[in-house]
């Protein structure tokens, strides 16, 4: 069960295996035949008459099947610089743009992991034939190529490439050919709204790639500098989250996503049949992370998928997202949990600003945003204070209800004006708007020991002290309309001595979206799932 | 959608919110009444006659509802040492054992995160009353208590506690009372097989807690030193995996677990209805991690749940486990992938041995095992060499079939004898026993550019170079009986220029199981899921 592959390896009998081997042999012959396709044949014919034909061409499949190991080291495009002047380098990347200048010269921009270099192919006796220039000029964009050449430093600085040097090509092979017409062009996908507007105003033709087209062709869309930045930032958010918590004595756990019955109840769950038993996908690791606290792990966290079958068609809801969950013993007060939130996120924002400069710039070029404003010590307001601030500006809301999206935004504005921060904690929420496992306040059970955290006027974190007294927990569950029988093993967990505890949950995609001021959660999910989308 | 809590917060109207608040108020009154239960009433009566009654007792619920913040710092049990002699400390932990000596004295062992300290309650004028000793003696095991007292260093070293000092109690409060009869006793759950055998031979009464009883009461079972060790080791495995890969330029990704159609096909999948569309749970992130390579991330990894609806009742199969998945561009040869496996796992084993000493010892006390034998540079054998080694000892297996569990074990023994390692790579597997996306060998398509990795004679990793040529991929899928239409967006991903690439997958639970020489995968899954178990 360990690996992706082993699941696929069918138990094959001796006979079947031999049959399979024979099939594979046939397959090989067919592949050899197939590789002499029309264009390849034409190319081959052309190359036949070229004494320099060994210097270029499509790499045959067999060369790409681990025939040999690396004998000449590859240089990363991102590390090409002046100190390599006059040296021979070998580079693998994508032909981002291809431009022929007459029949004797062609320019390529080759891209690797977001870095680009200009590559020059010039007819040259004994090295580059005119046929080779023609071959290069006919390459399809986004094809993967191997380029061998000499590094040169041009007199004029190069525009349109990240690296300041050029490669004067000696050999060039196509490793993987892209189809001639791509479903979306990368320049189109990478264009900012401001550029589109400029073009429209100038009445120039311009393509705007809409969200669905992007997502339908995610593999191409992913290659834009902004998307390369977004998902590298996302990787860093997860990394900082974990490193911070591990350094504070938290243990990483993995709780099951397959749950008997109907998870925590309440909102819509994805149901399935589990070996004849009714089951569902976990809406959060809530119950299991609390049980792990009862199991003496003291402080735990989990990063994992969370499933919500809700029919939400907003800019910030997905049916599957990555939850960052924390649960910890508390000694006295839920402020201990808010302290962790405070220090964790300040450390995260600091680190992103410091370590992801290039990525943030890349995102900002396509989707301009202001850096997040946050304080060294995170502002904490009570829900009542928030309601009062809204009231003072004439916005009346139910003091025992929840904030809606509009009032959240409004309060965010007021907080920014008054305290100069776009990141703050609102705590002591009304009990009625929190889940059943939330601990009521000691002095007023209409309120609860809970909090939400906001970035740029949108909620990203919810947290609370939990009820650790089994009788009260059962009573609260029942009051919230949950069948206590379906969560009996959860409630029983608190009967064997349970420490007071609390925790919080964050959506990874939302953190990245709001930190970068993006307008849609689908931009920060690699393969988003919403009520209308389950592919690719 | 960001948090666990927000899913639960129902959209409540003003009126409903007020009704809810009124209910909460009623609830509070009921809780106050309820807290005067019979035993509590008896305790209260006893305490009424005790002028020192403020020094002990059950903490009232309101005290545990974030009434105040920490004013006197808690000391962790694990940090109690001689330098604290004569100082007042406050400790929170579980009453692991409680023993009264006459009416004037009681001894407790208090446990916190695996560390234990002896706590002494002695009748003493103006501090500890006889009623307090009685109260302490009547506590239930595993209850959470707060202990305030003075650190003393006993003349005789303490047996049965990890810390070398004692606490002379001045105040003691019960924070959370455990039920008097626990479903399993921790001493029973922590007993090694050797101890059980000794007791049986001595005809002493002894309880062996079987696997199902443990798992049914996982919250208690988790508290044993071995289990505390196992899951802290598991957390460290994940940490090293990520830190190593991040340092090598890998990007962490999160791919969807909800998949249209039937995932990679082949083995049994969990099916569900996704908003009216047939869907299933991903059997691995295989297709999406490869697509992310086509999307230019270069090197990616993912840690996440993997779902297998197989009817496997073995010691090493689960229906849900944590997959550690890697995918990377390769320049020339799948040995580049094996190089990563080699360095990653050697670094992991080194780090576990160094950083998890205490945890490994704790596991070993209950489940004795020999430290894993591994080489600085991991041994690589071809499948053909493996078959030959088996043949040389008289074990005949199909040279184009797969190894079964028995031959894997046998080969593990032979490799250990010949090369002195329990960790090695077997590569160039027959194509027929590998999944459709495996790249055939350039020189013999009966074999493939693939590998398995073994620990202690059991497979833990599978990896390979993948087919990056869309025509060949479609042909291989078809040959393996997969409906190409269901994976068209996957196959299309390779039409826009695809770098040669490879990767591997590992099961987290299996790594921990085999590194620690454990005999069942259920021991290394916090809440295991198998065909018969979907709780707790």
Measured CA to CA in angstroms, residue B184 lies from B39, B200, B526 at distances of: 24, 19, 17
B238 and B210: one domain? Answer: no
pLDDT at A36: 43
Query: How much is the mean pLDDT over chain B?
Result: 92
Shortest CA gap B235–chain A (Å): 5
**Contact yes or no for A505 and B4 at CB 8 A:** yes
**Contact yes or no for A333 and B113 at CB 8 A:** no
Quickly state the pLDDT bin for B486 (edges 50, 70, 90).
Answer: confident
Minimal Cβ distance to A254: which of B322, B459, B505: B322
Shortest CA gap A388–chain B (Å): 17
3-class DSSP assignment, residue A266 = coil
Does B366 fall in a domain?
yes
pLDDT at B30: 54
- Residue B46: exposed, middle, or buried by beta-carbon count in 10 A (0-12, 13-18, 19+)? middle
Residues of chain B with pLDDT > 70, as a percent, come to: 91
Does A24 fall in a domain?
no
Angle at B214 between CA B268 and CA B525, to 5 degrees: 45
Residues B479-490, mean pLDDT to the nearest whole number: 89
B378 and B415: one domain? Answer: yes
Does B81 fall in a domain?
yes
pLDDT at B24: 58
Residues B285-300, mean pLDDT to the nearest whole number: 97
Give the pLDDT confidence of A196-209 residue by residue, as tens digits.
999 999 999 999 99
B485 and B338: one domain? Answer: yes
B460 and B495: one domain? Answer: yes
3-class DSSP assignment, residue A116 = strand
Give the pLDDT confidence of B181-212 residue by residue, as tens digits.
999 999 999 999 999 999 999 999 999 999 99
Give the pLDDT confidence of B107-150 residue by residue, as tens digits.
999 999 889 999 999 999 999 999 999 999 999 999 999 999 99
- Chain A residue numbers with beta carbons less than 8 Å from the beta carbon of B113 are 296-298
B217 HSE (CA, 13 A, CB side): 18
Measured CA to CA in angstroms, residue B501 lies from A38, B329, B464 at distances of: 27, 4, 9
* Residue A273 CB coordination number (10 Å): 12
User: How many domains does chain B divide into?
Assistant: 3
Nearest in space to A4 (alpha carbons), one of B265, B423, B242: B265
| ipTM score assigned to the predicted complex | 0.93
A446 and A405: one domain? Answer: yes
Taking a C-beta distance cutoff of 8 angstroms, is the pair B115, B229 a contact?
Answer: no
E-only strand ranges, A102-187: 105-112, 115-122, 144-152, 166-176
Residue of A nearest to B144 (CA): A497
Model pTM score: 0.93
**Contact yes or no for B432 and A12 at CB 8 A:** yes
Q: Give dist(CA B46, CA B40) in Å, integer.
A: 10
Domain that holds residue A196: 186-217
A117 and A212: one domain? Answer: no
Between A431-440, A475-484, B72-81, B240-249, the lowest mean confidence (pLDDT) is in A475-484
- Chain A residue numbers with beta carbons less than 8 Å from the beta carbon of B112 are 298
A312 and A440: one domain? Answer: yes
- The distance between the two most distant Cα atoms of chain A, rounded to a whole number of Å, is 92
Measured CA to CA in angstroms, residue A417 lies from A385, A388, A413, A422, B289 at distances of: 15, 15, 6, 9, 44
Does A381 fall in a domain?
yes
**Contact yes or no for A434 and B464 at CB 8 A:** no
pLDDT at A13: 52
**Contact yes or no for A400 and B309 at CB 8 A:** no
Taking a C-beta distance cutoff of 8 angstroms, is the pair A56, A172 a contact?
Answer: yes
* Cis upstream peptide for B436 (omega within 30°): no
- Residue A533, strand partner residues: A530
Does B140 fall in a domain?
yes
**CATH (domain of A128):** 2.40.50.140
Q: Give dist(CA B325, CA A67) in Å, integer.
A: 25
B320 and B385: one domain? Answer: yes
Last residue of a domain, one of A111, A145, A176: A176
Residue of A nearest to B400 (CA): A17
DSSP string computed for A274-298: ETTEEEEE-S-SHHHHHHHHHTT-S
B311 and B328: one domain? Answer: yes
Shortest CA gap A202–chain B (Å): 32
pLDDT at B3: 41
pLDDT at A4: 42
**Contact yes or no for B21 and A304 at CB 8 A:** no
Does B386 fall in a domain?
yes
Minimal Cβ distance to A334: which of B66, B112, B259: B66
B408 and B287: one domain? Answer: yes
B171 and B190: one domain? Answer: no
Does A44 fall in a domain?
no
Q: Give dist(CA A489, CA A484) in Å, integer.
A: 10
pLDDT at A265: 57
A206 and A338: one domain? Answer: no
pLDDT at B159: 87
Q: Give dist(CA A244, CA A254) in Å, integer.
A: 18
Q: Give dist(CA A64, CA A62) in Å, integer.
A: 5
Shortest CA gap B123–chain A (Å): 26
Best mutation site among B279, B496, B531 for testing chain A: the one with the most A CBs within 10 Å? Answer: B496
Q: Give dist(CA A25, CA B431) in Å, integer.
A: 11
Nearest in space to A42 (alpha carbons), one of A31, A28, A58: A58
**Contact yes or no for A283 and B142 at CB 8 A:** no
Listed as ranges, residues in chain A with pLDDT below 50 are 1-12, 34-38
Measured CA to CA in angstroms, residue A121 lies from A90, A126, A135, A154, B144 at distances of: 14, 13, 10, 14, 75
- Chain A residue numbers with beta carbons less than 8 Å from the beta carbon of B174 are none
Residue B427 is given by DSSP the state E
Quickly state the pLDDT bin for B512 (edges 50, 70, 90).
Answer: very high
pLDDT at A92: 98
Does A536 fall in a domain?
no
pLDDT at A31: 54
């Amino acid at each position: 069960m360990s690996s992706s592959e082993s699941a696929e390896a069918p138990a094959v009998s001796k006979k079947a295996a031999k049959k399979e081997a024979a099939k594979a042999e046939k397959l090989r012959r067919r592949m050899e035949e197939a590789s002499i396709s029309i264009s390849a044949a034409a190319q081959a014919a052309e190359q036949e008459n070229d004494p320099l034909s060994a210097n270029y061409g499509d790499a045959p499949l067999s060369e790409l099947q681990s025939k040999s190991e690396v004998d000449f080291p590859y240089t990363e495009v991102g590390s090409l610089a002046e100190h390599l002047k006059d040296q021979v380098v070998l580079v693998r990347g994508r032909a981002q743009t291809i431009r022929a200048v007459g029949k004797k010269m062609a320019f390529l921009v080759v891209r690797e992991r977001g870095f680009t270099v200009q590559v020059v192919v010039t007819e040259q006796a004994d090295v580059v034939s005119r046929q080779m220039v023609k071959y290069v000029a006919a390459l399809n964009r986004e094809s993967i190529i191997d380029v061998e050449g000499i590094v040169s430093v041009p007199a004029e600085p190069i525009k349109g490439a990240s690296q300041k040097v050029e490669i004067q090509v000696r050999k060039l092979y196509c490793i993987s050919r892209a189809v001639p017409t791509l479903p979306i062009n990368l320049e189109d996908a990478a264009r900012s709204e401001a550029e589109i507007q400029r073009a429209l105003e100038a009445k120039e033709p311009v393509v705007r790639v809409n969200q669905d087209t992007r997502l339908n062709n995610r593999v191409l869309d992913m290659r834009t500098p902004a998307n390369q930045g977004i998902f590298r930032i996302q990787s860093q958010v997860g990394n900082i989250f974990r490193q911070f918590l591990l350094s504070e004595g938290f243990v990483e756990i993995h709780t099951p996503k397959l749950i008997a019955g109907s998870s925590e109840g309440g909102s819509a769950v994805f149901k399935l049949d589990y070996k004849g038993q009714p089951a569902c996908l976990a809406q959060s690791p809530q119950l299991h992370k609390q049980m792990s606290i009862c199991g003496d792990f003291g402080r735990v966290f989990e990063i994992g998928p969370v499933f919500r079958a809700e029919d939400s068609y907003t800019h910030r809801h997905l049916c599957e997202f990555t939850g960052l969950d924390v649960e910890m013993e508390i000694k006295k007060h839920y402020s201990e949990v808010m302290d962790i939130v405070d220090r964790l996120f300040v450390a995260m924002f600091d680190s992103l600003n410091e370590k992801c400069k290039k990525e943030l710039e890349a995102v900002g070029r396509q989707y301009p945003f202001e850096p997040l404003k946050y304080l060294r010590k995170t502002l904490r307001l009570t829900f009542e204070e928030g309601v009062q601030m809204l009231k003072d500006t004439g916005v009346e809301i139910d003091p025992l209800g929840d904030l809606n999206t509009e009032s959240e935004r409004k309060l965010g504005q007021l907080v920014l004006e008054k305290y100069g921060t776009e990141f703050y904690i609102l705590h002591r929420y009304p009990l009625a708007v929190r889940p059943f496992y939330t601990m009521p306040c000691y002095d007023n059970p209409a309120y609860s020991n809970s909090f939400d955290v906001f970035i740029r006027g949108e909620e990203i974190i919810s947290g609370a002290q939990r009820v650790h007294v089994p009788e009260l927990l059962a009573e609260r569950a029942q009051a919230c309309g949950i069948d206590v029988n379906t969560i009996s093993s959860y409630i029983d967990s608190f009967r064997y001595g349970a420490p007071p505890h609390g925790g919080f949950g964050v959506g990874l995609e939302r953190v990245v979206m709001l930190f970068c001021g993006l307008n849609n959660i689908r931009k920060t999910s690699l393969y988003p799932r919403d009520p209308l989308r389950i592919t690719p």
